[in-house]
Structure 1
């Protein structure tokens, strides 16, 4: 069964997305959706990384909460800086963050977190995965930003994945 459906939830999601995008539940669209839902995961299975082992589920919940709080706070901060005309210009900078995290799933999760939080952009990862280049919209203190980034995001991801 696992050979035919390597990712059953993905298959169901693709079928539902297909039907929603076509706004039709005709037999032909359902058949195409099933075909797409079965073939896409089968063809892409070799591209999927190994399944990560989550070691501390409670840390996942704490990290999600922290990311949610940072998401709201950064949205407000960046929005305020963009819309206020009388404030100083933002001090944008590229920051090199040394990484201890090496797990591919952890690094992928870290890239998502960097992308989701307004004001930071994942720019480049060194080939040996030891250094991350991040663009920061408004940087006050580089050392403080690196310490906060490592403590808030990298350390919990290391607990979860390594």
Structure 2
């Protein structure tokens, strides 16, 4: 007998693919369920060897706290950016910052870059080829070192703890 893990390497992804397929075709007909199930099994089966190893979450409660922190920061940053836009007399100081990374794993670097980009007013623009720094564009920067410290303390250190890097 074939082990379930061998033919279904990522069951959650397969279920998600099936649901997305059914929502895309807007039909729960038997034929669509069969076709969606076949795709949901075949796509992960054919592509899983190209994926990086998934990091182990060492501290799930810290991950929850991190997600809530990021959501709160997104809401606050939206108000700050709206204030900057609504007040044309306020002189904004856009700036590119080269952010030195403590993280080394590609997955956690991607999470950090995505977190920075999700927060309004900042965008991660580039990762150096050596993976040692991230180029970040910020809409309004008074102190470059303060922004680096803010990102390090609010986002990078918690990611390092969560994924035990």
The gaps in structure 1 that reach 5 residues or longer are none
Match in the other structure for 1:119: 121
Aligned residue pairs total: 161
2:23 partner SS: helix
Distance 2:133 2:78 in 1: 26
CA contact (8 A) 1:94 1:135 kept: yes
Match in the other structure for 1:31: 34
Q: TM-score, normalised by structure 2?
A: 0.91
2:44 partner SS: helix
Displacement of 1:112 in angstroms is 1.9
1:116-158 Cα deviation digits (max 9, x unpaired): 1111111111122211100111112111001111111111111
Q: Aligned match of 1:93 in 92, 95, 106?
A: 95
Match in the other structure for 1:41: 44
CA contact (8 A) 1:7 1:41 kept: yes
Residue 13 of structure 2 corresponds to residue 10 of structure 1: yes
Q: Which moved more, 1:105-114 or 1:93-102?
A: 105-114
Q: TM-score, normalised by structure 1?
A: 0.92
Residue 107 of structure 2 corresponds to residue 102 of structure 1: no
2:99 partner SS: strand
1:140 partner SS: coil
RMSD: 1.4
